[in-house]
Amino acid sequence: MKSEPLVLGIETSCDETGVGIVRGHTLLGEALASSVDEHARFGGVVPEVASRAHLEAMIPTMERALDQAGVTLADVDAIAVTAGPGLAGALLVGVAAAKGYALAAEKPIYGVNHLAAHVAVDTLEHGPLPEPAIALLVSGGHSSLLMVNDLARGVTPLGATIDDAAGEAFDKVARLLGLPFPGGPWIDKAARDGDGVSITFPRGLTAAKDLATHRFDFSFSGLKTAVARWVEAREKSGEPVPVADVAASFQEAVCDVLTNKAIDACRANGIETLVIGGGVAANSRLRVLAEERAAKYGISVRVPRPKLCTDNGAMVAALGSHLVASGIAPSRLDLPADSAMPLTLVVA
């Protein structure tokens, strides 16, 4: 019997240089180099700094991943690379590297969508995704609800954020609380010592009038402003800011809306599987709340371990592996890096 395809994935869309190697649904090796510390003092990712760091990290990261998997480039059946969306210069480094490796080793190349890869990565932990499924995709740059009928051929957006992404809201609120960048993990941590119902922050697009037109859309900008006003008022009055309570109450507001809308999308479409992906899926409260609420309706929640939620190479390899297994044709060798690659396009 022919064994499942061995696929190598390369991720460079933001500040993580990731290489993953997957056979079927099994992760064989993975390496990650992050430039996050170089961006921290700017409070956000600096594109040029990220591109330069990818360039320096690419070859060593590739070598570490191959080593860990115990394979060589010659053993690989296909190379997948994030073609978009993401930072243009950062994407270019990964795409150019993937082309070089594909050409040198005579392998097919798949230029894949980073967001679809955030959904596909769950297969490494829980096996094939039952389709149709609803995907809640929550990262630093995107927040969407998707109908996944066939992940290899495209997804259908049901709704998305109309302003800030969920991760962006975490990062901005962390900043105003004086927590480091990226803020998500710090808010998560601070919130453990706080009370999530101590401050009532707004839940965007949940009022009846908004639900009529934005049932599956999100808005986090009003929440961010409400937190800023609350903190300002405290500071003005000379009272200390209860960082843990603010973090917990903010986190509760985000997770409340995300889980309610995701479960509503499942119920409205008669879907029993909810998969959650993207950096914010690492949030401990989101994971518990989604599980709790979904259980009431017999919906099963699939969310990969936190390390697979944030950007990595394994997610790209997982999607590549799914594409090869689904008989999808590879990309052309002149495939472009597309910083605005639409969610509906799985392969460039």
List contacts with ligand KG4 (CB under 6 A): 14, 139-141, 167, 170-171, 182-185, 188, 278-280, 282-283, 310-311
Residues 6+ apart with CB under 8 A from 58: 12, 17, 93, 94, 97
- Which residue's CB is nearer to Zn ion, number 12 or number 273? 12
User: Torsion angle, CA of 256/261/262/267, rounded to 10 degrees?
Assistant: 130
Rounded CA-CA distance 15/146 in Å is 25
Which residue shows structure tokens 């956000």? 44
Q: Which of residues 275-334 bind Zn ion (CB under 5 A)?
A: 311
- For residue 139, state whether it binds Zn ion (rule: CB under 5 A): yes
* Shortest distance (Å) from residue 251 CB to ligand KG4: 7
Rounded CA-CA distance 175/134 in Å is 32
* Shortest distance (Å) from residue 31 CB to ligand KG4: 16
* Shortest distance (Å) from residue 88 CB to Zn ion: 16
Q: Report the partner that residue 185 touches, choosing among ligand KG4, Zn ion, none (CB closer than 5 to 8 A by kind).
A: ligand KG4
* Shortest distance (Å) from residue 237 CB to ligand KG4: 29
Q: Report the partner that residue 184 touches, choosing among ligand KG4, Zn ion, none (CB closer than 5 to 8 A by kind).
A: ligand KG4
- Which residue's CB is nearer to ligand KG4, number 107 or number 287? 287
- Which residue's CB is nearer to Zn ion, number 251 or number 312? 312
Backbone φ and ψ for 190, nearest 5 degrees, come out as -60, -35
Q: Which two tokens stand for residue 46?
A: 């600096």
Instruction: Tell me the residue type at 86.
Output: G
Rounded CA-CA distance 256/243 in Å is 20
Which residue shows structure tokens 């639900």? 211
* Shortest distance (Å) from residue 94 CB to ligand KG4: 13
* Shortest distance (Å) from residue 183 CB to ligand KG4: 5
- Which residue's CB is nearer to ligand KG4, number 282 or number 335? 282
- Which residue's CB is nearer to ligand KG4, number 110 or number 170? 170
Identify the CA nearest to 11 among candidates 104, 77, 78, 98.
Answer: 98
- Which residue's CB is nearer to ligand KG4, number 185 or number 204? 185
- Which residue's CB is nearer to ligand KG4, number 196 or number 278? 278
The count of other CB atoms within 10 Å of the CB of residue 162 is 15
* Shortest distance (Å) from residue 282 CB to ligand KG4: 4
Q: Report the partner that residue 310 touches, choosing among ligand KG4, Zn ion, none (CB closer than 5 to 8 A by kind).
A: ligand KG4
SS3 assignment for 115-170? HHHHHHCCHHHHCCCCCCEEEEEECCCCEEEEEEEECCCEEEEEEEECCCCHHHHH
- For residue 168, state whether it binds Zn ion (rule: CB under 5 A): no
Q: Which residues are near Zn ion by CB under 5 A?
A: 139, 311
